Amino acid sequence: MNIREDIELREELTLSKYAALSKNSLGRDRYEEACDIRTVYQRDRDRILHSKAFRRLKHKTQVFLAPEGDHYRTRLTHTLEVAQIARTIAKSLRLNEDLTEAIALGHDLGHTPFGHSGEDVLNDVCSFGFAHYEQSVRIVEFIEKSGRGLNLTKEVRDGILNHRTSGNPSTLEGHVVRLSDKIAYINHDIDDSIRARIMEEDDIPKEYSDILGHSVRERLNNLVHGVIEGSIDKPEISMNREIYKAMMGLRTWMFKKVYYNEVPKSQEGKAKTMIKSLFDYYMCHTDKLPDEYIFFIKELNQDRELVVCDYIAGMTDLYAIEKFKDIFVPKSWDVY
């Protein structure tokens, strides 16, 4: 028995009967020899961690566009916080922690520069539409490794696709990530908003804070406990009804107080103009795309619109700004 087989046996003996066992995975689109050390979900997690798309998340907007302060969340730190919360819940429920972590680390790979503002623009200008959760799957199935993708298991791809509010993952591990995503962004966005002086802790309505807590620490603790207590030894992931209602009420309040606030929204118009301008330019000048994307169009017969979206969606905030300057902002003329 090798190390992987030993891990799979331990999963079978120790995990919940509702957990997704590694040995029962529906597998990959392309056959691969099994690893002697890692399970299929461990390999998926590692592939996501080593992907280019994952590294670029460190310079993509969470709420505040291209933040200069070192302590504001980015899409990468959000992803890591989701993974930590999801792993805590999965371990407590005796679910497959490796599958949970892989889904969490991959769930936002498809986010555009400038957060949901960039996503909205690409959805408007591309005739195919654009959604970050679908783009996340396209990245792991196709874009990474020059059109070969990461060849992830079906369970991980399903969890990535269905992490959105309206999603319905096929595994409990996927449902854990779906809830953990909300728990993470509600709390860290409050923390960042307080840091940006958009709000204060005391601004949160008492109808929510009296149930969820009066600090990030208290809220995280109560929300995580709410999921565990509502789901333990059950074939579904749910949350204490009172806590869930308070969380969703707080989320709605956050949209009004923070997400539509003039401070984080003040640069949104410029960012949208920038993304649309880049899209229009590359649609007319596909020869200016990087060689990898030209290869997608000419050799892999990918639609031009999709590939232009792939390129722009993959940009970091700073890279998009630099490309815009390079293309549209006149340069001074130096005479030597």
List the helix and strand counts (H, then E) for the chain.
18, 0
**Structural domain includes residue 197:** yes
Q: What is the DSSP letter of 256?
A: I
Checking if the pLDDT of 67 tops 80, the result is no
Mean pLDDT of 85-104: 98
Position 70 in a domain: yes
Higher pLDDT, 296 or 189: 296
Rounded mean pLDDT, 158-174: 96
- Amino acid sitting at position 155: E
Tell me the mean pLDDT in the region 227-233.
96
Mean pLDDT of 262-268: 71
Q: How do residues 276-295 score in pLDDT, each as one tens digit?
A: 999 999 999 999 999 999 99
The CA distance from 217 to 320, in Å, is 35
* Residues 258-273: b if buried by 16+ CB within 10 A, e if exposed: beebeebeebbeebbe
In this prediction, residues 45-72 reach a mean pLDDT of 84
Is 335 within a domain? no
Confirm if 274 and 323 have CB atoms less than 8 A apart: no
As a whole number of Å, the CA-based R_g of the chain is 21
**Total domain count, the chain:** 1
Residues 4-45 pLDDT 10s? 999 999 999 999 999 999 999 999 999 999 999 999 999 999
Residue 141's domain spans which residues? Answer: 3-328
Domain-located, residue 336: no
Within a domain: 154? yes
Residue 276: Cβ within 10 Å count: 16
Does residue 91 fall inside a structural domain? yes
Structural domain contains residue 334: no
Q: What is the CATH number of the domain that holds 173?
A: 1.10.3210.10
Query: What is the spatial distance between Cα 106 and Cα 132, in angstroms, rounded to a whole number?
Result: 11
Instruction: Write out 103-143 in H/E/C secondary structure.
Output: HHHHCCCCCCCCHHHHHHHHHHHCCCCCCHHHHHHHHHHHH
What would the pLDDT profile of 106-155 be if each residue is shown by its tens digit? 999 999 999 889 999 999 999 999 999 999 999 999 999 999 999 999 99
* 98 in a structural domain: yes
Structure tokens at 238: 């749910």
Would the CA dihedral through 122, 124, 126, 130 be positive or negative?
positive
pLDDT the model gives residue 187: 93
